[in-house]
Structure 1
Amino acid sequence: MTVTTPNPAPVAEAPRSSGTRLVDRVLRMRELAILVVLLVMIAVTQAGNSEFLSAQGIKDLLLNATVLVLVATGQSLVVITRNVDLSVGSTLGISAFAAGTCLHRGGDAFVAILLAVLLGTGLGLLNGLLVSLGQVPALVVTLGTLYIIRGVDSIWVGSRQITAADLPGGFVGFGSAGVFAIPWLAVIALAVLVGTAYYLEHFGSGRELYALGSNPEAARLAGIPVRKRILAAYTFCGTLAGLAGAMYLARFGNVDSGTGNGYELTVVSAVVVGGVVFTGGSGSVYGAALGALLLTSVNSVLPALGVSSVWVLAVNGVLLLLAIAVDRIVALRVAAALKTKSDPRKTALAKENAGA
């Protein structure tokens, strides 16, 4: 006798918790708040300096943010997985010099950019292997590779310097060219940003990065390839840092052994200010891009208003502390919301208070 097993009923997707909804609302509010602050800051500066929003002024604002937006996009994926990459500044520097050396020796621009991207990809892959397969803390790994890459860069570059005179005119010109006030470099960065955001939202492997960052052990038990996802995030971050190195060369036309020094701290600040929670699992690349645009705009706004550039670092530090404080408040609110939901008596009491 043949026994027919009934088809199991489809499992309905679990509703999102109140804590998750709270995090989403706060992050959207933070991104909106950053945008409002940025617009107000630009409006005030324009009122004090009528040339600030000229076509060249807008182009300078976008060009100043382009490289940081690109690196912050890659860093966001790593931070979402509850990790960090402190070697992005060194990767950017050595990639820029590699591209510049190729161009200085008569190489094609496409080959030089490809060389920078491949170098960044290789360094990101190295970080990912050490973190994911070696099970070494990300902070230790990337701090070590930061110094290793910087040391190799210093030995290779030495006292040499690549300037705009050593580069093809078309390559340097592309770094400042564009359509009206929109530079081509900003268009490239925007395309990468939108593509990355689409991947995180619509692809299963992208959404798994958030699950991994929220709870690595639960993600592993759910069958998510944790090590593979971490490796992919680091490789992508290195790739964008390499591309940013080529764009940095096109933008400034000047590279030496000090290029990229300390840049990793600016990148991390942009990511955190933009709402990508440092404990992982929350945030968006759009928020990181807004954070990058805000930080770079401060560098332009203060001098335009006649304020000493010495205050730029102080303002960036204040923004970073405010972002960390917001993250802490959100974490406490989420914990309280989840605790209330898990206790039926507290939930009933909360409903009674809401009805009253």
Structure 2
Amino acid sequence: MSVSTEPTSPPDRAERDDRPAGPGLRAVLHGRAFGSSLTVLAFLVVFAVYSVWLGDRFVDLGARLLNIHQNVPVLLIGLAAMVTLVAGKFDLSVSSTASLTAFLAVGLRTEQGMPFWLVLVSCLAVGLLVGLVNGFLVEYLSINAFIATLGTGGVVLGLSSVYSGGGALIPARGDFDLPAWFGDMGSFTNRPPTVVVVVVGLLAGAATVHGLAAVRPRRVPAGAWHAFRGAAGVLVAALVVWGLLAAGSSATSGGLSWLIVLLVGVALVMWLLLELTTFGRGLKATGSNAEAARLAGIRTRRHVVGAFVIGGVLSALAGVTLAATQGTVAPDIAGAFLLPAFAAAFLSTVVFSSGPFTVWGTIAGGVFVVWVGQGLITGGLPATWTDVVNGAVLLVAVALSTVVRMARR
């Protein structure tokens, strides 16, 4: 199934930027900076309301970091969904792949006694294989991506039930225990050293500088905007480092965890791949207009298959992290993650963006969805409403993406 959420072509943007700016308010409303920040501002308003309504029960950095830590598997699945959406395809097998590899991460060690390094390699290989099968079905057999990945997701989920005998996998103490470092990685109380926190802060500042480059208002001189970007990057980096260190030093809350560091590292690699490589540019061109990309000499089939493979590997990694946080695995353990993962991916088209799917937008959108739901639960809403909130956010994200895309034509 094709997904059309890419912005208009560069020539169209150039023509639009050459038009008279018009009245000041109208120019602001139609500017890239406003369109890229509207959704962020909306979420900030929601969080401000939560802060007034819930007070310290919501304004607790340690608690909010714990929410991110617990949802690292969801965010990784969101990245897996995002990379295939960039190619113009859906992958509905991402959560099923995560469920299977969660079982394998625990079972291959505790039940079959495999060396844990081989367990990890096997899990990632399973994700790679699922991605190859999806890519082959979609590109070489011309099966609709929605149908193909729905089918492979069912097969993969069935295999996880076959492997586990249809029940939960609860490892018992024995000769083949899970490594201690694996459980420590999934623990929120096991924190990385300060130097890692500083690196994360610097990455946040660099991402801010890069993101602001694409939204310079037409009436602001380039030199002044460069100075503003630099100052904003320094400020964000300082705030991130200070906040994480302050949260980590508190006796009642946690700071940065190894799983969050892993998420940031994966996101950085994905961003470099999509933004700074020939493969990434070809993938975007394929998702925007496959026929035009093919005529331009891009091997679109290879790019689409590559996107499915990357999505499969990321889904497998999500399953491994899920096993680390849970310790035990239940049937279809990642099934509930599909909706929030796609909500995060589609929110990336309106968070720090005006149409295209982005890596950092997916992370930010996923975190915003988690915090919105957590705020409502803290305020007394039953946890059973979580899927309702995620579904509503997904609908709003798709609607906003469509409106922004149409407004910029």
TM-score (norm 2): 0.70
Q: Report the AA paired with residue 302 of structure 2.
A: K
Answer with 235-244 or 174-183: which moved more: 174-183
Identity %: 28
1:172 corresponds in structure 2 to: 183
Shift of 1:39: 4.4
Tell me how far apart the structure 1 counterparts of residues 342 and 62 of structure 2 sit (CA, whole Å).
28
Mapping of residues 221-236 of structure 1, within 5 Å? 221-236=295-310
Indicate whether 1:66 and 2:72 are aligned. Answer: yes
Mapping of residues 279-318 of structure 1, within 5 Å? 282-318=356-392
Shift of 1:99: 0.9
2:158 corresponds in structure 1 to: 151
Indicate whether 1:161 and 2:156 are aligned. Answer: no
Equivalent residues of 2:275, 2:281 under 8 A apart: yes
Gaps of 5+ in 1: 1-13, 338-356
- Secondary structure (helix, strand or coil) at the match of 2:71 reads helix
Answer with 242-251 or 48-57: which moved more: 48-57
Tell me how far apart the structure 2 counterparts of residues 257 and 124 of structure 1 sit (CA, whole Å).
21
Equivalent residues of 2:170, 2:328 under 8 A apart: yes
Larger Rg over CA atoms: 1
Equivalent residues of 1:158, 1:257 under 8 A apart: no
Q: Report the AA paired with residue 145 of structure 2.
A: A
Gaps of 5+ in 2: 1-8, 18-29, 193-247, 249-254
Equivalent residues of 1:46, 1:53 under 8 A apart: yes
2:93 corresponds in structure 1 to: 87
Shift of 1:45: 3.9
2:279 corresponds in structure 1 to: 205
Tell me how far apart the structure 2 counterparts of residues 172 and 20 of structure 1 sit (CA, whole Å).
55
Shift of 1:76: 1.1
Change (3 A) 1:150 1:30: farther
Shift of 1:262: 3.9
From 302, 313, 319, the counterpart of 1:245: 319
Tell me how far apart the structure 2 counterparts of residues 312 and 137 of structure 1 sit (CA, whole Å).
30
Change (3 A) 1:28 1:248: farther
Aligned length: 317
Q: Cα deviation per residue 1:182-221 (whole Å; 9 max; x = unaligned)?
A: 1101111111111111221111210111111111111111
Q: Cα deviation per residue 1:88-132 (whole Å; 9 max; x = unaligned)?
A: 111000011011112214444333222211111111111111112
- Secondary structure (helix, strand or coil) at the match of 2:335 reads coil
Tell me how far apart the structure 2 counterparts of residues 26 and 121 of structure 1 sit (CA, whole Å).
41
Mapping of residues 1-356 of structure 1, within 5 Å? 16-18=11-13, 29=34, 32-47=37-52, 48-54=54-60, 56-105=62-111, 106-163=113-170, 167-168=177-178, 169-176=180-187, 177-179=190-192, 180=248, 181-275=255-349, 282-334=356-408, 337=409
TM-score (norm 1): 0.80
Change (3 A) 1:260 1:170: same
Shift of 1:310: 3.5
Equivalent residues of 1:94, 1:153 under 8 A apart: yes
Tell me how far apart the structure 2 counterparts of residues 253 and 30 of structure 1 sit (CA, whole Å).
43
